[in-house]
C-alpha cells in the first residue's frame, strides 16, 4: 500500500464485549470509525476482529539456560506475533530487549526488568540472586529499568526442606513492594505454593503469577485487595513431568507439585468466581515455546471461565489492566482478524486470518 493507503476492516469489529461494530478504517497506522474523505488505494480485510492479543506472562530474550541473543529473541517475538499476540508483559528477562521498541513489526513489550530471587533459590542464569537485606536496592534498580513492573520470585524449592517454601521474610517484601510503589511500579511474583501468598498480598503486591497455591481461605483476601492472577495453565500442565524428574531426590516436593496440578482448574475457577482478576499468560521462554496464547485461553475455558471473559483476559480487560488501548478511535491499529466468531468457539484464536500491527498487515 502507498504512504496514504487505507486499510478497511469490515465484518464484525469486537471493540468490547458489548460493543460490536461493522467496520473500521486504518489511516496512517491509526484507527478511525469514520470513512476517510477521498480515500484511495483501499485494501479491505473481512472477518471478526479483536484487539491484538495480550500475553501477560511472557519472556522474550530468555532461553532454557538464561539470556539469548537478539536473533533468537527476534524469533520468539515473531512467533508471538504470528499467534496474534501484539502486546507482551515480559514478566522477567535477563536480556536487554529495548531494541524491539524500534521495530514497528514486532509486538509491543511492557518489561518487568530481571527476576529478583534469593541466592540459589531459582533457575540458574535467570535472576539477580540476592539476600533479603539487598531486596529494596534491587527492586529500585529493576523498577527504573522496567516499564512499570517488578518481578519477584516469591517461592522455590528449599533443598533442606525438600519442598516449596517462601523465599523472602515478610519485612523484606513489605519494604521491597513499598519501594516499587514509591517509584510508580507495580509488583508481581512467581508463586507456586500456598505458604508464600498471604505475606505477599498483605504486603501490597499487585499480581501473582501461577497462583497454584490459592486456597479457600486465601481467595477472599486476594479478592478484597484486588490482586490479579496470571495462572499460566499451559505451564502448570508440565508439573507432572517435573514431579517425575524430582521424585528420587525430592519426593515431598514432587507430591506437592502433583497436588497443585490436580486442583489447577478448580483453583482458577474459584478465583474467577470470587471476583479475582484473571489474565492470560503463557510463560513462554525458558523451556516453553512462544505463540501459545490461544492454548492458554482455551485452558481458561476448560477451567470453567466463560468464553467471553476468557477472551477479555487476553484482549479488552488485559489491555485496560496494563494501561494500553484496544480498538479505540485514534489508537494504534493493532488487531487480529479471524474467519469466524471467537465468542462462539474459542479455538478460532489458534488460526488468525490476518494480523495487523501499527496499521500494517504483518501476517
SS3 call for 202: helix
User: 0.85 cut: is pTM over it?
Assistant: yes
Query: What pLDDT, on a 0 to 100 scale, did the predictor assign at position 276?
Result: 98
Query: What pLDDT, on a 0 to 100 scale, did the predictor assign at position 184?
Result: 98
Which DSSP string do the residues of 20-35 spell out, in sequence order?
EEEEEEEETTEEESSP
Whether the CB-CB separation of 37 and 263 falls below 8 Å is answered with no
Q: Identify the CA nearest to 312 among candidates 326, 323, 333.
A: 326
Q: To 5 degrees, how large is the angle CA 40–CA 4–CA 359?
A: 105
Q: To 5 degrees, how large is the angle CA 310–CA 355–CA 103?
A: 110
In order of their start, the domains of the chain are 6-50+326-361 (2.30.40.10), 53-322 (3.20.20.140)
Q: How far apart are CA 24 and CA 31, in angstroms?
A: 7
Q: Which positions of the chain have pLDDT values less than 50?
A: 1-3
Other CB atoms closer than 10 Å to residue 330's CB: what's the count?
Answer: 9
Q: How far apart are CA 17 and CA 328, in angstroms?
A: 13
What is the tens place of the pLDDT at every residue in 11-48?
999 999 999 999 999 999 999 999 998 777 899 999 99
DSSP character for 241? H
Residues β-bridged to residue 208: 189, 229
**Alpha-carbon distance values, 124 to 15, 69, 148 (Å):** 42, 17, 25
Q: To 5 degrees, how large is the angle CA 327–CA 291–CA 93?
A: 95
Sign of CA pseudo-dihedral 68, 285, 321, 81:
positive
Residues β-bridged to residue 128: 116
β-strand pairing of 163-166 with 155-158? antiparallel
SS3 call for 188: strand
Task: Enumerate residues 6+ apart whose C-beta is below 8 A from 345.
Answer: none
Query: What pLDDT, on a 0 to 100 scale, did the predictor assign at position 4?
Result: 61
Q: How far apart are CA 28 and CA 117, in angstroms?
A: 44
Amino acid at each position: 500500500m502507498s504512504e496514504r493507503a487505507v486499510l478497511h476492516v469490515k465484518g464484525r469489529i469486537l471493540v468490547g464485549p458489548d460493543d460490536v461494530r461493522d467496520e473500521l478504517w486504518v489511516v496512517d497506522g491509526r484507527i478511525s470509525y469514520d470513512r476517510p474523505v477521498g480515500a484511495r488505494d483501499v485494501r479491505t480485510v473481512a472477518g471478526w476482529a479483536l484487539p491484538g492479543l495480550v500475553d501477560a506472562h511472557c519472556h522474550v530474550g530468555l532461553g532454557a539456560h538464561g539470556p539469548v541473543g537478539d536473533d533468537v529473541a527476534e524469533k520468539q517475538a515473531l512467533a508471538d506475533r504470528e499467534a496474534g499476540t501484539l502486546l507482551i508483559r515480559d514478566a522477567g528477562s535477563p536480556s536487554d530487549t529495548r531494541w524491539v521498541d524500534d521495530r514497528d513489526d514486532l509486538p509491543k513489550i511492557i518489561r518487568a526488568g530481571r527476576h529478583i530471587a534469593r541466592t540459589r533459590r531459582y533457575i540458574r542464569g535467570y535472576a539477580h540472586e540476592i539476600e533479603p537485606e539487598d531486596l529494596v536496592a534491587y527492586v529500585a534498580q529493576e523498577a527504573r529499568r522496567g516499564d512499570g513492573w517488578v518481578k519477584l520470585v516469591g517461592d522455590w524449592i528449599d533443598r533442606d526442606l525438600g519442598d516449596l517454601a517462601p523465599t523472602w521474610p515478610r519485612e523484606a517484601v513489605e519494604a521491597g513492594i513499598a519501594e516499587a510503589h514509591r517509584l510508580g511500579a507495580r509488583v508481581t511474583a512467581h508463586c507456586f505454593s500456598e505458604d508464600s501468598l498471604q505475606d505477599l498480598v498483605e504486603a501490597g503486591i499487585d499480581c501473582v503469577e501461577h497462583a497454584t497455591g490459592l486456597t479457600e481461605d486465601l481467595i477472599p483476601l486476594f479478592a478484597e485487595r484486588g490482586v490479579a492472577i496470571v495462572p499460566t495453565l499451559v505451564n502448570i500442565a508440565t508439573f507432572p513431568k517435573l514431579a517425575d524428574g524430582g521424585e528420587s531426590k525430592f519426593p515431598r516436593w514432587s507430591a506437592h507439585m502433583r497436588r497443585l496440578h490436580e486442583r489447577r482448574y478448580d483453583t482458577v475457577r474459584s478465583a474467577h468466581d470470587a471476583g479475582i482478576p484473571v489474565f492470560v499468560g503463557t510463560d513462554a521462554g525458558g523451556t516453553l515455546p512462544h505463540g501459545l496464547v490461544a492454548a492458554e485461553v482455551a485452558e481458561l475455558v476448560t477451567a470453567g471461565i466463560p468464553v467471553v471473559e476468557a477472551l477479555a483476559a487476553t484482549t479488552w480487560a488485559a489491555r485496560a489492566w496494563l494501561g494500553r488501548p484496544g480498538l479505540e478511535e485514534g489508537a494504534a491499529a493493532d488487531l487480529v482478524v479471524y474467519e469466524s466468531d471467537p465468542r462462539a468457539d474459542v479455538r478460532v484464536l489458534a488460526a488468525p486470518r490476518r494480523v495487523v500491527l501499527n496499521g500494517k498487515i504483518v501476517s
